[in-house]
Amino acid sequence: MTAAAAVPIRERAANKTFDVERIRQDFPILRTKVHGHPLVYLDNAATSQKPQTVIDALVRYYEGENANIHRGVHYLSELATAEFEKARETVRAFVNAARASEIVFTRGTTEAINLVAQTYGRVHVGAGDEVLITAMEHHSNIVPWQLLCEEKGAKLRVAPINDAGELLLEEFEKLLGPRTKVVAVAHVSNALGTINPLKQMIAMAHAHGVPVVVDGAQAAPHIAVDVQELDCDFYAFSGHKMYGPTGIGVLYGRHALLEAMPPYQGGGDMISSVTFEKTTYNKLPHKFEAGTPDMAGVAGLKAAIEYMNGIGIAKIAAHEHGLLEYATEVVGAIEGVRLIGTAREKASVLSFVLDEVHPHDIGTILDQQGIAVRTGHHCAQPVMERFSIPATVRASFAVYNMRAEVDALARGIRKVREVFA
C-alpha cells in the first residue's frame, strides 16, 4: 500500500490540492488519545490547536530573542523590537489594513472590544444615545456596551434575527437613527455560524454617520478579512482561535479614529514624555499598548498567520465549507436532531440539539468516544433564548478536521440515542 492510498479516497477527492493528512502532521496534539480513542477535536470555535511552527516560534522567542521592546539600545532589545514590528506588518497584511499603525495588539477580541467601548465609546456615547448590536452577539460584544450604556444613560438596541439565525437586515436598518452612535456586530456568529452581510450593514451604518465595530473572532480563522473592502472602522480578533497562542489578539482601528481617541490604559510604552504636570502620549499604535506586551504571543501570532498563508485562506475556507456541508447532511439526517442556525451563509459551526437529550449528556457521551465538542450556551445566552433552548451541542471545524471525524461524530450521536433509547 502506498502512502497516498492510506488516505481515504473521499478525503482526497474533496480537494485535490489539499492534503488534510499532511496538515494533521503539523499539529502534535492531534496524536492524543482520549479514553482510548483518537482525539476528534471539534471545539475549534472555542480555541484551535496549534501547529508545530507556532509552538516553535514561542520557544525560539524565549531561547534567542527575549528582551523588552522599544526600550534598550542593546542587541536583544533591538532584535525583539524589530521582530515585534515585523509581526505587526504581518497582521496588517493579513487583514489588509492601510497602515501598520492601525494594528493594536491586545489580549484578545474581548479586550479589543472593551478598548473601543471605553475610549471611543466613552467620548461619543452620551445620555439618550444608542448602541446598536444584533441578537446573535457573543457576551463579549454585549457586556462592554451594556457597561458603557449604564454609565452614560444610553440605550442598547438589538437587531433581531430570523429562525434560521440570519440578521433581519431591514430591521437593522430601521434601528439606525440620529441617536445611534456605535454599531457593534459579529462577522461570524460563534453559536450559529451565521456570516453577517457586513458590507451592507457597514454601508447602512455609514449612511447614518455611525462607525462599526466588528467582532471578528470567529471570522479571522475561516474567511479572508479585508478591512478596507469591508470599510469597517474597528475589527477585533483573537490569535488563539486561528492557530496562534492564547493571550494575544488584535484591534484594527481606522487611523483617524484611533488618533482622536483617548488612551485605554496608562503605563509604559504608551507615552512619549511624562512629568507630574503633563503626559504626552506616544504615537499610534503605541498609545494603546501600555506596559510590556505579550512579545512571545506576538511572535506566535505571526507564525500562525504565516502558517495559514502557507496553506492559503481560500483553501482553508473551501475545506472547512466542505466539512460543514457534509456534517450538516449527515448529522442533520440523524433522527431527533434539530440544527440550530441554518443560515444560507455559514462558516465552520454546526450547532444542534437532540430530542429529549440534554446537550451536557451528549457532550459527556461523545467525550467517552474521544470527541471534543462544546456544549452549553456558548457565551451567547440571548441566542439560546431566541431559539427557546437552554443550550446546544456545537461542533466547529478547522483546517485539520476530516470527513472521517464527521462520521465519528455522527456515530457518537447515534450512540447517545442508544444510551437514551
Rounded Cα gap, residues 400 and 50, in angstroms: 10
**What mask, x for binding another protein by CB under 8 A, covers residues 20 to 39?**
---------------x----
Task: Clarify whether 232 is annotated catalytic.
Answer: no
Choosing from 347, 379, 409, 416, which is the catalytic residue? 379
Residue ranges of alpha helices (H) inside 161-254 are 169-175, 198-207, 227-230
Among the listed residues 10, 199, 360, 414, the single contact to another protein using CB under 8 A = 360
Are residues 258 and 103 in contact, defined by beta-carbon separation less than 8 angstroms? no
Residue 413 found at the interface with another protein (CB under 8 A): no
Q: Which of 69, 65, 47, 43 lies closest to 56, judged by CA?
A: 65
Under 8 Å between Cβ of 279 and 273:
yes
Closest CB to another protein among residues 135, 251? 135
Q: Does 420 bind another protein (CB under 8 A)?
A: yes
Least CB distance to another protein at residue 147 (A):
19
The site that binds another protein (CB under 8 A) totals a number of residues, namely 19
Report the residue from 100, 361, 372, 404 that binds another protein according to the rule CB under 8 A: 361
Q: Confirm or reject binding of residue 391 to another protein (CB under 8 A).
A: yes
**Which CA distances in Å does 226 have to 98, 99, 298?**
10, 13, 20
Instruction: Please report whether residue 309 would count as binding another protein according to CB under 8 A.
Output: no
Cell numbers representing residue 324 in the block: 460543514
194 lies in the site for another protein, by CB under 8 A: no
Q: Give the C-alpha distances (Å, rounded to integers) separating 319 from 13, 261, 269, 345, 400.
A: 11, 40, 41, 15, 9
Q: Which of 32, 53, 328, 368 binds another protein (CB under 8 A)?
A: 368
Transcribe 161-181 into DSSP letters. Answer: B-TTS-B-HHHHHHH--TTEE
Nearer to another protein, 239 or 412 (CB): 412
Judged by CB under 8 A, the residue of 384, 399, 402, 409 near another protein is 384
**Is 375 near another protein (CB under 8 A)?**
yes
Q: How far apart are CA 413 and CA 385, in angstroms?
A: 24
CA 358/CA 256 separation, integer angstroms: 49
Comparison of 106 and 396: residue with beta carbon closer to another protein: 396
Q: Which residues are tagged catalytic?
A: 379
> What does the binding site for another protein look like in residue numbers (CB under 8 A)?
35, 356-361, 364-365, 368, 375-377, 381, 384, 390-391, 419-420
